[in-house]
Amino acid sequence: MKKKLLRYSFNEKSEYIIQEGKSIYNDVKKNWSEFFKNKNPLFIELGCGYGEHTTRFSFLEKDKNFIGIDIKGARIYKGAKTLEKNKTTNAIFLRTDIQNIDEFFNPNEISVILISFPDPRPKKRDIKKRLTNINFLNKYYGLLKKGGELLLKTDDKQLFNFTIDELKKSSFKEIQLFNNIHINDSVHKLSSVITKYEKKFINEGKKIKLLSCFK
C-alpha cells in the first residue's frame, strides 16, 4: 500500500506525466509543438507499459519527440522516473485511454505510431477492443503524416494474423512482416529494446513478431 501511495503521489506531481486532473491535460491537446517548444517529428507508443521504447529511443534520437500512452499509472510511473533521472526534454507520458488519442493529436501530425505488445483479446466478442481492428487502424491512418509509419510488436500469432487481415481493408501500404525480429540485431531497430514482458515471452520460447506499414 505504501508503494502504491508513493507512486500515486509521484504521478500527481511529476512533470513527466500528463493525466486527467492536471491543467496541462487539456492544454496539450493538439498543441504538442508548443509543449516541446519545437516541431520535431512525433513518435507515439500506444500501450507503452513501463515505457521502455519511449525512454530508450528518446535518449538515442534527440531530434524527435516521444509520447508514451497508457491508462495504467503504476506502469508509466517507472518510465517517468527514468525520464526524470535523465532530465529528458524530448519525451513525456500521457495517461489516457487509447480511444481518446484523436482528442490529443491533429490529423496528419504523427510520424510513427508503435503499438507495443497490446492485449490480444482472443475472444470474438472483444474484436472491437483490439487495438488493430479496422476502426483503430482508420484512426491511426488519419493521425499519421503522409509517409508515416505504423508498427505492431507482439508475441501473439493470432493477433499478428488478424492485423494483417485488417490492414488489407485499410488504406495502409508497404506492409512489411518480421516473424522473429531477434534473429539478429539488424532486422529492425526495435529489436534493440527488449521490454520486461518481451523478455518473459522470449524465455517461454515465443518469437517476437513485428509488422510495419506506411500511410
CATH entry 3.40.50.150 includes domain 2-214: yes
The mean pLDDT value of the chain amounts to 95
Q: In the chain, what are the domain boundaries? A: 2-214
| Type of residue found at 17 | I
Identify the pLDDT of residue 1.
65
- Mean pLDDT for 108-125 is 97
In this model, does residue 192 exceed pLDDT 90?
no
pLDDT tens per residue across span 197-206: 899 999 999 9
6 or 28: whose pLDDT is higher? 28
Pairing label, strands 110-116, 42-46: parallel
Per annotation, catalytic residue among 27, 97, 102, 119: 119
CA distances from 93 to 68, 112, 165, 180, 187 (A): 5, 16, 31, 28, 28
AA identity, residue 19: Q
Using the predicted structure, report yes or no on whether residue 101 has a pLDDT greater than 70: yes
Q: What is the pLDDT of residues 12-29, one digit of tens each?
A: 999 999 999 999 999 999
Taking each continuous run of H as one helix and of E as one strand, the counts in the chain are 9, 8
DSSP E strands, the chain: 17-19, 42-46, 65-70, 91-95, 110-116, 144-154, 173-178, 209-214
Q: Is 119 a catalytic residue?
A: yes
pLDDT tens string 37-79: 999 999 999 999 999 999 999 999 999 999 999 999 999 999 9
pLDDT computed for residue 5 by the predictor: 78
Identity of the residue numbered 117: F
Percent of the chain with pLDDT over 90: 89
